[in-house]
Amino acid sequence: MSTYLISVAIPIYNEAKQIYENINIIHKILTENNINHEFILVDDGSRDNTWEELKRLSHDLPNVFAISLSRNFGKEAALCAALESAHGDACVIMDSDLQHPPEIIPEMVRLWKEEGYDVVEGVKSSRGKESIVYKVGAHLFYSILENFSGFNFDGASDFKLLDSKVLASWSTMPERNTFFRGMSAWLGFKRTSIPFEVTERKEGQSKWSTLKLFKLAITAITSFSSLPLQLVTLMGILFLFGSFILGINTLYMKFKGVAVSGFTTVILLLLIVGSTLMISLGIIGTYIAKIFDEVKFRPRFIIREKAESTRKECISIDTNG
């Protein structure tokens, strides 16, 4: 077995049907590759038997830490809960549905241990079976985010290996609304990526509703860029410039004694200015809502219950880092 310990952090929501088997598959692959590991499994307030399955796992497998949140806080918060409990020399973050192939974990670990990378990112080489709308949506979202924030997220996924020092820096980021992909890109460090094919979900459906995805997209954009706010200022300047020209025109007409024929202009102006104002207020409102969320300083998640394996196998923390 390896001298270092890898924490495998997995957020889980309503996956009772497949979680037991999936964790066993991951456990088998890691054991075969002599990777000393622990599992941090977070039940994100599932409404099925997921928690019972996690307790069963903590009974049957060594080094399993299961955490149950008091309600569904969302994947991002569940991930935070998992990462806070990880004490390995490196941490692998992955989904519970095997869409992130565990077969490439040994390669991630090798890149980390032997080539000294601090962050190894799994990058989707294809997005698997998704509807066209979903694919286009994801692409659009990532390109907007890239242009706004200056970070490249193409093919980004939450499948990553992070060194413990990256995790330590990550935990100093105090924000309540987390967007893990963005935060880990923001952190920097020596990073590399491995492509992987998204396999099909074995059991059940994606746990992300369109609304949840939309909310995540708004959090991502508002927490990584204030460009939309500046856009409002830019629009304001443009319209000011336009009204200046129109103003001169109006005055000129008035002094020439031409009848008031600018009804259309007035209506158009009203519409344009009105809508721009509303959009602007909306954007500002979104940011204020985020600020409001942050200053409340609520915990990101609440833990209801914990379960831990009684069997501990060869956990030896590598003190050399």
> By the criterion CB under 6 A, which residues form the site for ligand UDP?
11-13, 15, 44, 72, 74-75, 78, 95-97, 99, 206-208
Amino acid present at 219 = T
Query: Six-digit token pair at 132?
Result: 């066209």
Query: Binds 300, which of ligand UDP, Mg ion, none (CB < 5 to 8 A, cut-off by type)?
Result: none
**97 contacts Mg ion (rule: CB under 5 A):** yes
Q: 64 is in the binding site of which of ligand UDP, Mg ion, none (Cβ under 5 to 8 A by kind)?
A: none
Q: How far is the CB of 96 from Mg ion (least distance, A)?
A: 8
Q: How far is the CB of 205 from Mg ion (least distance, A)?
A: 9
Q: For the CB of residue 28, give the shortest distance to ligand UDP in the complex, in Å.
A: 19
| Closest to 317 in 3D by CA, of 40, 38, 58 | 38
- Shortest distance in whole angstroms from residue 158 CB to Mg ion: 10
Query: Residue 298 in contact with residue 176, Cβ under 8 Å?
Result: yes
Nearer to ligand UDP, 72 or 193 (CB): 72
Is 135 or 298 the residue whose CB approaches Mg ion more closely?
135
Find the part of the chain contacting Mg ion (CB under 5 A) among 53-61, 88-96, 214-222, 267-275: 88-96
Angle at 319 between CA 316 and CA 321, to 5 degrees: 115
CB of residue 198 vs Mg ion: minimum separation in angstroms? 8
Question: Please, which residues have CB within 8 angstroms of residue 297's CB and are 6 or more apart in sequence?
Answer: 176
Q: How far is the CB of 196 from ligand UDP (least distance, A)?
A: 13
Nearer to ligand UDP, 75 or 113 (CB): 75
18 or 178: CB nearest Mg ion: 18
Helix (H, G, I), strand (E, B) or coil at 3: coil
207 binds, among ligand UDP, Mg ion, none (CB under 5 to 8 A by kind): ligand UDP
- Rounded to an integer, what distance in angstroms lies between the CA atom of residue 113 and that of residue 168? 18
Residue (186 or 208) nearer to ligand UDP, CB = 208
Q: How many residues bind Mg ion (CB under 5 A)?
A: 3
Choose the contact partner of 15 out of Mg ion, ligand UDP, none; CB within 5 to 8 A by kind. ligand UDP
Q: Which amino acid is at 164?
A: S
The item of ligand UDP, Mg ion, none sharing an interface with residue 134, based on CB under 5 to 8 Å by kind, is none
Residues 6+ apart with CB under 8 A from 120: 108, 111, 112, 160, 161, 191, 192, 193, 194
Sign of CA dihedral 288, 292, 295, 300: negative
Type of residue at 247: G
Closest CA to 33 of 8, 58, 60, 65: 8
Distance CA 65, CA 178 (A): 23
For ligand UDP, the closer of residues 61 and 80 by Cβ is 80
Q: Which does 142 bind (CB under 5 to 8 A by kind): ligand UDP, Mg ion, none?
A: none
Of 37 and 113, CB closest to ligand UDP:
37
- Tallying the residues shown for the chain, one arrives at 321
Binds Mg ion by CB under 5 A, chosen from 50, 99, 184, 225: 99
| Cα–Cα distance measured from residue 225 to residue 236, given in angstroms and rounded to the nearest whole number | 19
- 93, β-bridge pairs: 9, 160
The interaxial angle of helices 16-32 and 105-113, nearest 10 deg, is 50
In angstroms, what is the minimal distance from the CB of 128 to Mg ion?
9
Q: Point out which residues bind Mg ion (CB under 5 A).
A: 95, 97, 99
